[in-house]
Amino acid sequence: RGRQGGMVVLYASQTGNALNLAKDLYEDASEKGFSVEVSDIAAFDFAEFVERPPPLPVMVLISSTWTDGVPPPKAQAAFDRLFRNTWTPTSLARMRYAVFGLGNSVYGANFCKAARDLDARLLALGAQRVVDRGENDDDNYRAELFAKWKDMLWMAHGARVMGNSVQFIENPSDGDTDDSGSAEEWVSEDEEDQDDTFAGLDTALPVAGDSSCGNGAGALQDLEDLGAIVAANGKGTKKNLKRGQVGVASKPKKMLNPSLEASLTKQGYKLVGSHSGVKLCRWTKSMLRGRGGCYKH
């Protein structure tokens, strides 16, 4: 069922704005390991949803607001069903949810009113809000607001901030208890011993024009392999390094432990050596597919 039981994304849209955000969330959540279901709120049965076996997917509702603060005409019937008196204060107690609203501030008190009413109604029926409601203004639309709100949603599910992005990391400390290859500084009293440590390094590196570069068994696959070359020289060990010398550990510490490798692979990263993971960002994919893009997105 995916991460945390999965995710259900509902949209209440008339002109397509809320639907587009739902599609964006679907792509992002899928990349992060969620099993995602997307539906028009008009066709969704809340009573059936809360009867599903545990764990219930987290529900994300994206709603625009129509004239006079009412829901979009297509979603009005669904809102009416949710606001009936047949519900009790605990009817949706098993449900976890988040709401994002679209509206126009020129309508004053009716700005994002449909989303606000929906948020208040779900709380009144016992549902548990996992992240504060997000809102965006059609009169001054800022795409980064939805992106930041999504980051809050991911962090509410255990994601962590890594650099300038938010990622899910599964038990990052698992499988990484061996400190024998950690970076250390060793010293030696004899400067000549230091030169011996790196003797033969130049001949071990592939040179321009060498047909075996990148192909042969001796080709250097990654800069981290330099440590292995030094170790092969017989001088990169603790017992041969004395005071005054800085050496290279014979067994570099592996930065990608099994849990981290599994998490990054699941999110679509290509692993590089034992230290990095890379993948194309969604902006780059959009540009390559000819859809255009904006650095703000």
- Residue 75 clears pLDDT 70, i.e. is over it: yes
pTM score: 0.59
Contact 186, 246 (CB under 8 A): yes
Q: What is the mean pLDDT of residues 162-189?
A: 51
Report the percent of the chain where pLDDT is more than 70.
Answer: 64
Instruction: For residue 157, give the nearest of 22, 25, 295, 296 by alpha carbon.
Output: 25
pLDDT value of position 232: 53
Of the listed ranges 18-22, 128-132, 182-186, the least confidently predicted one is 182-186
Strands, DSSP E only, in the chain?
Answer: 7-12, 36-40, 58-64, 96-103, 128-129, 134-137, 160-162, 165-167, 270-272, 276-278
10 Å CB burial of residue 46 (0-12, 13-18, 19+) is buried
Confidence of residue 218 (pLDDT cuts 50, 70, 90): very low
- Residue 237 clears pLDDT 70, i.e. is over it: no
pLDDT value of position 291: 65
- What are 279-288's pLDDT values in tens digits? 777 767 766 7
Confidence of residue 166 (pLDDT cuts 50, 70, 90): confident
Separation CA 31–CA 90 (nearest Å): 33
- Residue 146 clears pLDDT 70, i.e. is over it: yes
Confidence of residue 64 (pLDDT cuts 50, 70, 90): very high
Given the structure tokens 């939805």, which residue do they identify? 146
- What are 4-24's pLDDT values in tens digits? 679 999 999 999 999 999 999
Separation CA 95–CA 114 (nearest Å): 20
pLDDT value of position 118: 97
Q: What is the mean pLDDT of residues 152-178?
A: 72
Confidence of residue 103 (pLDDT cuts 50, 70, 90): very high
